[in-house]
Amino acid sequence: MAKQRWRVVVLAACAGWLLLTGTANADEVPMVTGEHWVKSSDELKKAYLIGVANVLQVEHAYEATNQPTDAQSLVPRMAKGLKGQTLDSVRERVNRWYAAHPDQIKRPVLETIWFEIVVPGLSNPG
């Protein structure tokens, strides 16, 4: 039952992102920015983060047979930089960052996650 509920939430989240970002041509993918982030519900934000995590997992699985160096792949750096983080902690940190930087509302969410969470996490021992 809970698994079906999550499927519905994820499908609704995808539909919501389409509504927020408009339609995209096959050759362009809409970039999710702070403008989209601050207008979204917590469930939609969490679905977005789950999507990002799934892409990283797919990339990690794909790279398993051809171990790239850290310079060739962002996956190992993302994993290390996000160590100890949860979906909720990332969501809250992104929320706080956009609230503190309203002048940077057009900044892509992935860029915010990378520079405000991952990069500082890389300098933490562990």
pLDDT digit string (tens) for the chain, length 126 residues: 444 444 444 444 554 555 455 555 656 777 899 999 999 999 999 999 999 998 888 877 776 777 666 666 788 888 889 999 999 999 999 999 999 999 999 999 999 999 999 999 998 765
Residue 4: per-residue pLDDT: 47
Residue 47 domain boundaries: 2-122
Cα 79 to Cα 50, 52, 65, 84, 85, distances in angstroms: 14, 12, 18, 10, 10
Domain count, the chain: 1
- Which H/E stretch holds residue 100? helix 87-100
Q: Model-level pTM?
A: 0.73
